[in-house]
Amino acid sequence: MTADKGPPELDPVIHAQARLRVVAALNVLGDGDEMTFGSLKDLLGMTAGNLSVHLTKLEEAEYVRITKTHKGRTPVTYIALTRRGRLAFEDYTRAIRALLDPAGGTS
């Protein structure tokens, strides 16, 4: 262990509990797959307003892609994790593992 290396940085965009739940849920989907806003809201048990606020933060960071369209006359919003979001989530989970096991599992 070296003294000059501090603990890993946690991405503040993902670190908020609600946004972490959103990114983790979307990360399960395959590359290019998306989920409707309503399905994500129901899956996470969040209100529409709360989910919207967190999706806006994730979209500003370019971690999610939001596509608004219509199915017939009904508006539908699709949410997908971007490549940047997927990489940020991988970095975040790696940093969490490093914080939880700073010895690297050599116990």
In 10 A of CB 57, how many CB atoms?
A: 17
How many helical (H) and strand (E) elements, i.e. helices and strands, does the chain have? 5, 3
pLDDT in tens, 40-94: 999 999 999 999 999 999 999 999 999 999 999 999 999 999 999 999 999 999 9
Q: Output the pTM of the full model.
A: 0.86
Tokens representing 53 are: 């606020």
Domain 12-96 has CATH 1.10.10.10: yes
State the greatest distance between any 2 C-alpha atoms of the chain, in Å, as a whole number: 61
Spans of all domains in the chain: 12-96
pLDDT per residue over 17-34, tens digit each? Answer: 999 999 999 999 998 899
Residue 95 Cα to chain centre, angstroms: 15
